[in-house]
Amino acid sequence: MSNELASTGVVDRTLGTGDHKTVGRLWIFSGLAVGVAALVLRLLAALEQLDAGSVALFEDLDEFVQVWSLSRDLLIFGGVAAVLVGLGTFIVPLQVGANTIAFPRGATAAFWVWAASLLMVVASYIGNGGPGGGRVDFVTLWALALGGMLFALVWALICIASTVLGARAPGMTLEMVPVTAWSYLVFALLGILALPVQMAQLVIAFLDVRGGYMPIVETTPLSAVMDTITLAPSVYWLLIPTLGIALDIIGVHTGRPLRFHRSTLVLIGLLGLTAFGASVTAFGGRRGSVDFNNAFMVLGLLESVLPLLGALALGGESLRSGTPSFRVPLLAGLTSGLLALGGATLALLGAVEPIVGFFAKLADRTPDVPDVLTVNGTTFNAGVTAAIVTAALVGAVAGLQHWGHKIWGHQMGEGGGSLAVLALAGGGMVWAAGEVLGGLGDQPALPAVADLDANMVTIGNILVVAGVAAAAAGVALALLNTAMSGVLGRGSVAEPWSGRTLEWLTDSPPPFANFESQPVVKSASPLDHMDRSPATSTPIPEEVTA
Amino acid sequence: MTDISVRPTIGSTAPPAEAVRPRMLLVGTSLASAATFMGFLALIGLYVGFRQDVIATGETWLPSGVVIPLTQPNMMLATWSLASTAVIWAIFSMRNDDRANTYIAIGLVMVLGFAYIAQTAYLLSLMDMPLYPTGDNELDLLQRPPLFYGIIGTHVVMTLVAMGYLALTGLRSLGGQYSSRDLEGLYGSAMFWMTTYGAYLVMWFAIYITK
C-alpha cells in the first residue's frame, strides 16, 4: 500500500482532494494572497486620491473607479471571507467531532468555483469591465463572475452549516456546540440568506447592461451594487466568526472556558440576527420610506453594539478569573474584538443624522443636524467598513496563530505573527481614521476625484495611504508566516496549548478521518470528561470510543 | 480497533466516508432551498420596486402593445399544483414500498414539469415583449423587459434543477437506495420542488396577476 500511496503526488492530492483539511488550507492560502493583492490595489487608489482634483496615476476617472471597486470586492469576497471560510472548513468539522465536512466533494467544488470566478473577475477588469468599464462583454462578465464567487461562498457555507447541524458527535446538542463552530453556523446561515440577495442585484446589473438599459458609458453606479453588504451594519456579517474565534481563544488561553456558554451563543446569534435584519433593511431601503428604513438601520447599528459588548464582557470575565497567557493568539483575539467594537461604535456616529431626521419627522419639524455629523454619502461609511474588515482580518490571523499547529503540524512563528497583527491592526485603525476624517471633510463616498482642497480631506487621504500600506504589509506578513509553517515546515512540532474542545483531542495535523474513533460528548467542554495525553499523538480514551 | 486514519489506496484523494447520519441531505437541501428562495424573492422585490417607480410617473409598466394574458399563468399554476400533488404521491408510495406507484408519480411530475416549461415558452411568444429598448425615450429604458425575462428564466432554471434532483432520487430509488426505511433523498428533492412551487406562487401573484 505504501508504494501506491507514494505515487500519489502533491498536485493530485491538492487538486483532487476531498479532504476538508486540504480544502481549508487552499482557502486560507488563497484568501491571504488575494487579501494582499486587494490591499495593494487599494493603496494605488489611495495614492491617486492624494492629489484631489486631478487624475495622475490612472488614465481617467473610470479606471480609478475600476481599481477602487476591484480592490473592495477582492478584499471582502476574495480575501476576508475566503480566509474565514477556510478556517471554518478546517476547524468546524474537528470541533463538532465529525470525521469530515458535510458534502466534502461539494466543499472542494465550491473552492474551485470560487477560484475560477475570482480569475474571471480579474480578467473582466483587465478587459475594461466592472463598474466604470467601457466594454459590454466585460462588464457583464464582471457581474457573472462576481455572482460566481458569491455562489461558491454560499455553497461552502452550506457545507459548513450542514456539518454543524447534521454531523455533530453523538451527545453534542446544539447548546454544547463550541463557540467557534456556533459562530460559523450563524455566519453560514446569514451568508446563505444574504448573499443570494446580492446575486440577484448582480443579475439585474447583468440584464441592464446586456439589454442596453444602462448605457455602457455610465456604468460607474454599478460600484454601488455591492454596497448592500459591504457597508455597516450588513458588513458585521464578517464579525460573527471573528467574535467566535476570539472568544474561543480567550477560553483556551486563560485556562478558563467561558462561564456562560449558552449566553455567549445567544449573543452571537443576536449579532447575526441584527446583521441579517440590517442587510434586508438596507436592501429594502432602496425602495421604501427613507425614514422608516433609516429607523431600522439605526436599530440595527445599536443592536449590533450591544451583543458585541455583551460577548466581549463574557470574554473579559474569563480573562479576570483565569490565568491569561498573553501570547499572540490571545492578543490578536482581543485586538480583533476591540477593533470590532470600535468600528460598530463609530458606525453609531453616522446614525445621528437619521436618528435626528426620524424624530424631527415624527414631530413634524425640520431636522437640525450639525454639519460635522451629516456624514452619510461620504467616505465616513468606508471608514467604518475599514475598521470592521480589519477586525475580521485580525481575527482570522488570531485563528491562524491559535490553530496553526493543528492546521500545519508546526507552530506558527510568534514574531511574525506579532508583527502581522501589529501592522494590520495599526494600519487598519489609521486607514479607518483617514476615511472618517475625509468623510467629516465631506469627501464623497462614490470614488471620485472631487475638487476638494479642505485640509481635513487631505490629511485623511494621507492617513488612508499610510494605513492601507501598513495593513497590506500586515496581511503579507501573515501570508509569509503561514507559508513558513505550512510549506517550509518551520516551527515547533510540540502542541503549544490545548483546549477543551474536540479539535484538541486529535493529532496535529489530524489524520485522514480526523479521529481514530468517534468521540462521545457529554458537555460543552468535552475534553474535561476525557483523560488526555499532552503529547502530539493523542490516544483516544476508552470512555469516548464508540 | 481499526485504524481508519490510513489513507486508502483506491481513490486516495477521496474524502473519508461520512458517518451515516440521518437527515444530512435534507439539511443541505433545506439550506440550498433557502438560499435559492431568497435570491428569487430579491429578484421579485427589485422587479416590484422598478414597477412602482414607473407607475409613480403616471406611465404604464408594460411596454405599449404588450399584454400578459391570464389563462396561461393560471394553467401553469394548476400544472404546478398537480405536479406538487404528484410529488407527495411519490413519497407516500415509497413510504409504503409501493415502487410502481412511486415511479408513475415521478414520471408524472417530469411530464408536468416539461409542460410548465412549454407553457412558459408559449406565454412568452404570446406576449411578444421586446427584449431591447424599442426607442430612445426614457420610458423604454425604465420598463426593463429583460428583468421580466430574467425572473421567468431563473424560475425555469429552478424547475429544471428540481426535475433533475427528483429524477436522480427516483433513479436511486430504482436502484434500491431509497425505500420506506430511508426516504431522505426523496424528501430532499420534494423540498426543493416545493420551494420552486412557492417561488412560482410569488411570481404568479407579483408578475402575472398584479402585472
Least trusted range by pLDDT, from A71-80, B4-13, B108-117: B4-13
Per-residue pLDDT reduced to its tens digit, A148-183: 999 999 999 999 999 999 989 988 999 999 999 999
Per-residue pLDDT reduced to its tens digit, B22-56: 788 999 999 999 999 999 999 998 888 888 888 88
Sign of CA dihedral A95, A96, A100, A106: negative
User: How many Cβ atoms sit within 10 Å of the Cβ of residue A289?
Assistant: 11
Select the more confidently predicted residue: A13 or B117.
B117
* Gap between the terminal Cα atoms of chain B: 66
Is A7 inside any structural domain? no
Give the three-class secondary structure for B182.
Answer: strand
pTM: 0.89
- Write down the pLDDT at residue A424: 94
Domain region containing B164 = 24-209
User: How many Cβ atoms sit within 10 Å of the Cβ of residue B15?
Assistant: 22
Q: Do A286 and B49 touch (CB under 8 A)?
A: yes
User: How many Cβ atoms sit within 10 Å of the Cβ of residue A524?
Assistant: 22
Name the one residue in this structure whose C-alpha cell is 486514519.
B5
Is A420 inside any structural domain? yes
Residues A520, A523, A527, A530: what is their CA dihedral angle, to the nearest 10 degrees?
Answer: -60
Segment (H or E) for B76: helix B71-95
Residues B106-133: what's their mean pLDDT?
90
CA distance A290 to chain B (A): 14
Residue A189, C-alpha cell as written in the block: 446561515
C-alpha distance from residue A409 to each of A9, A387, A405 (Å):
19, 32, 5
B56 and chain A in contact, CB less than 8 A: no
Alpha-carbon A365 to chain mean position = 41
Does the structure show a pLDDT above 50 at B7?
no
Domain region containing A174 = 18-544
Among B13, B34, B52, the residue with its CB nearest the CB of A13 is B13
Q: Do A208 and B146 touch (CB under 8 A)?
A: yes
Q: Do A197 and B38 touch (CB under 8 A)?
A: yes
Q: Do B31 and A105 touch (CB under 8 A)?
A: no
Is A496 inside any structural domain? yes
* Residues within 8 A of A (CB atoms), B 103-162 only: 131-133, 141, 144-147, 149-150, 154
Residues 6+ apart with CB under 8 A from A472: A36, A39, A40, A42, A43, A427
Name the one residue in this structure whose C-alpha cell is 475600476.
A66
Residue A8, C-alpha cell as written in the block: 500519489
Is A69 inside any structural domain? yes
Do residues A99 and A514 lie in contact, with contact meaning Cβ atoms separated by under 8 Å? Answer: yes
CA distance A311 to chain B (A): 27
- Write down the pLDDT at residue A370: 67
Q: Do B24 and A105 touch (CB under 8 A)?
A: no
Is A11 inside any structural domain? no
* Residues within 8 A of A (CB atoms), B 63-92 only: none
The span from the CA of B130 to the CA of A227, in Å, is: 31
Helix then strand then coil, % of chain A, to nearest 5: 70, 0, 30
ipTM exceeds 0.90: no
Residues of B in contact with A162 (CB under 8 A): 24, 27-28, 31
- Write down the pLDDT at residue A535: 41
Residues of B in contact with A148 (CB under 8 A): none
- Write down the pLDDT at residue A49: 81
Q: Do B7 and A512 touch (CB under 8 A)?
A: yes
Q: Which residue of B has its CA nearest to A191?
A: B35
Domain count, chain B: 1
Residues of chain A with pLDDT under 50: 1-6, 286-288, 534-546
Domain count, chain A: 1
Best of B27, B30, B143, B191 to mutate (most A CBs within 10 Å, chain A)? B27
Q: Do A196 and B31 touch (CB under 8 A)?
A: no
Segment (H or E) for B27: helix B24-56
Alpha-carbon B122 to chain mean position = 18
Is B84 inside any structural domain? yes
Among A13, A166, A197, the residue with its CB nearest the CB of B39 is A197
User: How many Cβ atoms sit within 10 Å of the Cβ of residue A176?
Assistant: 20
- Write down the pLDDT at residue B175: 82
* SS3 annotation, A66-90: HHHHHHHHHHHHHHHHHHHHHHHHH
- Write down the pLDDT at residue A546: 32
| β-pair partners for A168 | none
CA distance B6 to chain A (A): 7
CATH of the domain at B90: 1.20.120.80
Is B121 inside any structural domain? yes
B32 and chain A in contact, CB less than 8 A: yes
Residue A437, C-alpha cell as written in the block: 476624517
Is B186 inside any structural domain? yes
Q: Which letter does DSSP use for residue B97 in this model?
A: T
Percent of residues, chain B, with pLDDT higher than 70:
84
Per-residue pLDDT reduced to its tens digit, B77-97: 999 999 999 999 999 999 998
The span from the CA of A99 to the CA of A106, in Å, is: 16
Does the structure show a pLDDT above 50 at B1?
no
CATH of the domain at A376: 1.20.210.10
For Cα atoms A205, A210, A216, give the angle at the middle one, nearest 5 degrees: 80
The span from the CA of A148 to the CA of A152, in Å, is: 6
Q: Do B4 and A1 touch (CB under 8 A)?
A: no
Q: Which letter does DSSP use for residue B206 in this model?
A: I
B100 and chain A in contact, CB less than 8 A: no
Among A108, A196, A210, the residue with its CB nearest the CB of B35 is A196
Is B178 inside any structural domain? yes
